[in-house]
Amino acid sequence: MTAAGRQPREGLSIGAVLAHLRKDFPGVTISKIRFLESEGLVRPARTPSGYRQFTTADVERLRFVLTAQRDHYLPLKVIKEQLDDADRGAAPVPTSDPQPGLRPPRRLVPLDAPESGAPAPTADEFAVGAVSRLTHEQLLAEAEIDEALLSELVQYGLIRPAAGGFYDADAATIAKTAAAMGAFGIEPRHLRALRVSADREVGLLEQVVAPVYRSRDEGARERGDELVRELAALSVTLHTLLVKAGIRGMSHG
């Protein structure tokens, strides 16, 4: 019995699980763990009062999911299929794997492929944090561009000021990138097609995610946020691979 006269709960709390996972996955949050639970990827027990009780196997299961997302860029649907197979006793894995029954995740892109280049983005990279607010003058200084270039970037929709005329931190990065491309003779008007393409990608993702956001189920917002991050990472990966394929076609044409 504890000092307060209560029997201590068995298992790990969600906070304790978070502490275990953050050593290897600094971007993981309690919301992320709850989302993975809502998607059926982990099923912790509950106390009579509703507290989650995670086992060591639950923690390793979460570790498998997070690794599959971070290192192998797998969508949750594929990860869940692998976990379901493992639950049915299919495909035994080497003892070096974190949990018996979980086979190594299949990769979308081999990390050691010579042509693979930089690793594909992960869903965590699309997490929305605190939004920076840059004034017009701060953006010019941060991006190291002149008034004329900024005017063109706004004109062709590559940078869009928010209400009040402020810009976010991404605007500075976009401006720097556009300026670097300008050194090769590529002007903002040439980049308009990229803006249109990006808007179309966002529109496609919105069609998939909008019904989730509209749901009145508990945790719908968290599920929608996680889904859009995962889809965004996959979309950028696919875009990159298509550009690479096109470049290879140019060089071999």
Q: What is the mean pLDDT of each run of 10 residues along the chain (253 residues)?
A: 43 91 87 87 89 92 88 80 81 41 44 46 61 86 92 94 87 92 92 92 89 81 83 85 84 62
**Model confidence over 93-129: pLDDT tens digits?**
333 344 444 554 444 333 333 344 555 666 666 665 5
**pTM, entire model:** 0.54
CB-based contacts of 237: which residues, under 8 Å, 6+ apart? 73, 108, 109, 120, 121
CA distance 23 to 76: 22
Determine whether domain 14-108 maps to CATH 1.10.1660.10.
yes
- Burial label for 1, CB within 10 Å (0-12, 13-18, 19+), is exposed
pLDDT at 178: 93
Q: Do domains 14-108 and 125-252 have the same CATH topology?
A: yes
| Residue in the structure block whose two tokens are 């570790």 | 63
Q: Give bridge partners of residue 41 from the DSSP assignment.
A: none
CA distance 237 to 192: 21
125-252 belongs to which CATH class? mainly alpha
CA distance 132 to 134: 6
Q: Give bridge partners of residue 170 from the DSSP assignment.
A: none
Helix, strand, coil distribution of the chain in percent, nearest 5? 55, 5, 40
| Residue in the structure block whose two tokens are 């900024």 | 150
- Half-sphere exposure of 176 toward its Cβ, with a 13 Å CA cutoff? 10
Report CA-CA distances (Å) from 64 to 39, 50, 85, 142, 196: 15, 25, 14, 40, 37
Two tokens, residue 95:
């003892």
CB 54 within 8 A of CB 44: yes
Would you kindly state where each structural domain of the chain is located, as residue ranges?
A: 14-108, 125-252
Amino acid at 1: M
CB 237 within 8 A of CB 108: yes
Q: Give bridge partners of residue 134 from the DSSP assignment.
A: 167
pLDDT at 122: 64
